[in-house]
């Protein structure tokens, strides 16, 4: 199949593009390279530099390419930043997503696999979280993703678009070629590995007084290759709907740091700090629906294996992607 992948130069988009190509699909990557990296775009994909806020551009690319489906990753994805700059999040994630969907409708492209997030649930009432948990986001990031889910769901109901919402839990790990390179980095595993590489003095643990076994937050860490596989299954399936993607295993911040110490052989100094605003104590997925309806089976649930894959990538790319700002570097 021919897939147009927005955000294919980003972390999850780059790995999904790699796996799509490995499975024999044809891929066009559409990315503005604001936060993604040209070097993260698989050479087998065709690349179009463009921004979803530019309606004419995405409409022209969609009309020209007429892909079988769109995989939509392009978005800002930092909770804290969204609290400082809500307009940036609604402007890009929501308006950009609506522009994308309009371009699809105009070109007769009838299928979208959308990167959504467990942040649409906000502070969950029950854990593990099922897809029918009330969606009450507690930050503009989660709200921007939820609003786009809602708009797309109306396009499904009225226009017959096939819509798959993949609600990720904590994406992590790497393939041999593509890994996580954000600037600034805010995610736990890359931060811990940067400390192992000597690029940070220490890791700050955001709160040790949660109601969890060791007092630190529990998260559901899901390997990027497993996430990418779910997209490929969604591409070839006829279903519409929302699917949580996680392992259902919770690991605490302290467990992540301790596992990284074992994997890297580095001491990784860590110190307790205050809680980070907006962090729920536990976020764990019930992903039975993805298993039953998409036939998804995560193959890399083990935290140690996840961290080993990320460590291999970070050691091979201590400065991330070399062409961090290709436009400025010429
Ligand atoms: N975390 C931490 N120190 C850091 C970064 C993250 O203690 O420097 C914690 C954070 O509070 C959360 C967990 O690690 O409980 C995972 O955070 P991350 O930002 O990786 O993902 P999130 O769960 O926010 O999507």
Residue 211 parent element (H or E):
none
pLDDT in the model for residue 208: 98
Q: Does any ligand 1 atom lie closer than 6 A to the CB of residue 217?
A: yes
- Give the residue-averaged pLDDT of 106-135: 96
Closest residue by CA, ligand 1 atom 16: 188
Q: Does any ligand 1 atom lie closer than 6 A to the CB of residue 253?
A: yes
Question: Is residue 323 very low, low, confident or very high in pLDDT (cuts 50, 70, 90)?
Answer: low
Task: Tell me if residue 172 falls in helix, strand or coil.
Answer: strand
Percent of the chain with pLDDT over 90: 92
- Give the residue-averaged pLDDT of 220-243: 98
The distance from CA 56 to its chain's CA centroid, rounded to whole angstroms, is 26
Whether pLDDT at 325 is above 50:
no
- Encode pLDDT of 304-320 as tens digits: 999 999 999 999 999 99
- Give the residue-averaged pLDDT of 153-164: 98
What is the phi/psi pair of residue 64, to 5°? Answer: -75, -45
Question: Which of 167, 170, 97, 93 minimizes the C-alpha distance to 132?
Answer: 167
pLDDT in the model for residue 51: 98
Q: How far is the CA of 113 from the centre of ligand 1 (A)?
A: 26
- Encode pLDDT of 273-308 as tens digits: 999 987 889 999 999 999 999 999 999 999 999 999
- Give the residue-averaged pLDDT of 179-188: 93
- Encode pLDDT of 201-223 as tens digits: 999 999 999 999 999 999 999 99
Whole-prediction pTM value?
Answer: 0.96
Whether pLDDT at 33 is above 90:
yes
Q: Return d(Cα 55, Cα 65) in angstroms, integer.
A: 16
Q: Return d(Cα 29, Cα 67) in angstroms, integer.
A: 11
Q: Does any ligand 1 atom lie closer than 6 A to the CB of residue 191?
A: yes
Q: Return d(Cα 190, Cα 47) in angstroms, integer.
A: 27
Whether pLDDT at 89 is above 60:
yes
Q: Return d(Cα 152, Cα 162) in angstroms, integer.
A: 9
Q: Does any ligand 1 atom lie closer than 6 A to the CB of residue 281?
A: no
Q: Return d(Cα 5, Cα 106) in angstroms, integer.
A: 18
Closest residue by CA, ligand 1 atom 25: 170
- Report cis status (omega within 30 of 0) of the bond before 16: no
Across the chain, mean pLDDT equals 95
Q: Is 141 assigned a catalytic role?
A: yes
pLDDT in the model for residue 328: 35
- Ligand 1 mutation pick, 195, 276, 310, max ligand atoms within 8 A of CB: 276
Q: Return d(Cα 329, Cα 97) in angstroms, integer.
A: 29
Structure tokens at 199: 């690029």
pLDDT in the model for residue 280: 87
- Asked whether the CA dihedral 244, 170, 143, 153 is positive or negative, the reply is negative
pLDDT in the model for residue 327: 36
Residue 100 parent element (H or E):
helix 97-107
| Number of other CB atoms surrounding residue 109 within 10 Å | 22
Tracing tokens 């699917």 back to the chain, one arrives at: 243
- Give the residue-averaged pLDDT of 12-26: 98
| Number of other CB atoms surrounding residue 327 within 10 Å | 11
Q: Does any ligand 1 atom lie closer than 6 A to the CB of residue 219?
A: yes
The distance from CA 38 to its chain's CA centroid, rounded to whole angstroms, is 18
Q: Does any ligand 1 atom lie closer than 6 A to the CB of residue 194?
A: no
Q: Return d(Cα 57, Cα 167) in angstroms, integer.
A: 28
237-251: b or e for each residue (b if 16 or more CB lie within 10 Å)? beebbbbbbbbbbbb
Q: Which domains, ranges and CATH numbers included, belong to the chain?
A: 2-171+220-246+283-299 (3.40.50.720)
Whether pLDDT at 329 is above 50:
no
Given the residues 11, 76, 89, 141, the one annotated as active site:
141
pLDDT in the model for residue 245: 98
């Amino acid at each position: 199949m021919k897939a147009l992948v927005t955000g294919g130069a980003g972390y999850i988009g780059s790995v999904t593009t790699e796996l799509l190509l490995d499975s024999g699909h044809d891929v066009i990557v559409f990315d503005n390279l604001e936060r993604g990296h040209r070097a993260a775009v698989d050479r087998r994909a065709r690349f179009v530099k463009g921004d979803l806020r530019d309606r004419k551009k995405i409409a022209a690319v969609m009309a020209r390419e007429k892909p079988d489906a769109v995989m939509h990753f392009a978005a800002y994805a930092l909770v804290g930043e969204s609290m400082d700059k809500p307009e940036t999040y609604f402007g890009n994630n929501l308006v950009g997503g609506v522009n994308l969907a309009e371009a699809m409708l105009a070109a007769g492209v009838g299928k979208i696999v959308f990167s959504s997030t467990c942040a649409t649930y906000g502070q969950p009432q029950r854990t593990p979280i099922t897809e029918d948990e009330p969606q009450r986001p507690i930050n503009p990031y989660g709200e921007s993703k939820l609003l786009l889910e809602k708009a797309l769901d109306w396009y499904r109901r009225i226009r017959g678009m096939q819509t798959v919402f993949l609600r990720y839990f904590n994406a992590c790990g790497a393939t041999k070629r593509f890994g996580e390179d954000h600037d600034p980095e805010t995610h736990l595993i890359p931060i811990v590995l940067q400390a192992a590489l000597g690029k940070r003095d220490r890791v700050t643990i955001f709160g040790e007084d949660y109601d969890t076994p060791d007092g630190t937050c529990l998260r559901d860490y899901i390997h990027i290759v497993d996430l990418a596989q779910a997209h490929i299954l969604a591409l070839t399936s006829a279903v519409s709907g929302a699917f949580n993607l996680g392992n259902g295993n919770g690991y605490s911040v302290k467990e992540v740091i301790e596992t990284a110490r074992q994997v890297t052989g580095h001491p990784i100094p860590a110190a307790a700090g205050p809680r980070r605003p907006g962090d729920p104590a536990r976020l764990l997925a019930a992903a039975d629906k993805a298993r039953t309806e998409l036939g998804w089976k995560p193959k890399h649930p083990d935290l140690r294996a996840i961290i080993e894959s990320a460590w291999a990538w970070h050691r091979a790319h201590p400065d991330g992607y070399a062409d961090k700002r290709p436009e400025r570097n010429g």
